[in-house]
Copies of this chain bind each other. A is one copy, B any other.
Amino acid sequence: MNKSLILISNDDGIDAKGIKILTKLMQQLGDVVVVAPDVPRSAQSNALTVTQPIRFRKIEEEEGMIRYSCTGTPTDCVKIALNEILNRKPDLLVSGINHGSNSAINVIYSGTMGAVFEGCENGIPSIGFSLASHFPDPDFGYFEPYVLKIAQTVLEKALPESVCLNVNAPCGEIRGVRVSRQCKGYWTKEFAGRTDPAGRAYYWLTGYFENMEPDAEDTDEWAISHGFISIVPDKIDLTAYEAMETIRSWDL
């Protein structure tokens, strides 16, 4: 039987600690090919590079593991891997381990999840792993056995059609795993204004997340803030089916 082929990407870039750990873990499960951005490309969502061409180059190869760096976004990385690098569809795509949480609405901004959605669109079982820590050198140790088990289980059982996983872990000890839903919330006070030496204003993105349902125990935010790993099954069909009849009734 062929060994499993596992495609790995992220948005923190090819040199991030998280993707190196993820690569080591996945080598226990199959042959791995890493295609990741050459520099950090956080919060790139599902962005594509369309106004300039992209390039990629092999930077390391050893038995069962090849690493490529790519000038594109995380989504570009997956596209280039599927179209130009791999000679067959991978059995699994994993993205991360992201330095920072991708829970709640952050899932739509996340480059880590951008790579995952691209895998999902192409029919590949795909998982994003994120650690809710912004320390420069976070401890992934508690999370690692869970990453391995979740990836192994998805390899064995696959995933429902057009469904991928958004896995977020708390920082520190882990009490267990909760299958959750995306918490409702939004960002506020999102810019820090500065003035340049010429007197012109400029703005850095920052902000605070407002959790609209802090007491709901079935959300990803609740799980993470209570010491659990959150697994949210996500889908790439954004249709709000339950709203269709309402809009139809408007007789446009």
Tell me how many chains of this kind the complex includes. 2
Which B residues are CB-close (under 8 A) to A42?
A: 50-51
Interface string of A225-252 (1 = CB under 8 A from B): 0000001111111111111101110101
B45 touches A45 (CB 8 A): yes
B179 touches A247 (CB 8 A): yes
Q: Quick one: which of A36-85 are within 8 Å of B by CB?
A: 40, 42-51, 53-56, 73, 75-76, 79-80, 82-84
- Taking beta carbons and an 8 Å cutoff, which residues of A are in contact with B? 40, 42-51, 53-56, 73, 75-76, 79-80, 82-84, 105, 107-109, 114, 117, 121-123, 146, 149-150, 153, 157, 159-160, 162-163, 165-166, 177, 179, 181-182, 184, 186-187, 189-191, 193-194, 200-205, 231-244, 246-248, 250, 252
Closest 5 CB pairs of A and B: A45-B45, A233-B243, A45-B46, A43-B48, A235-B240
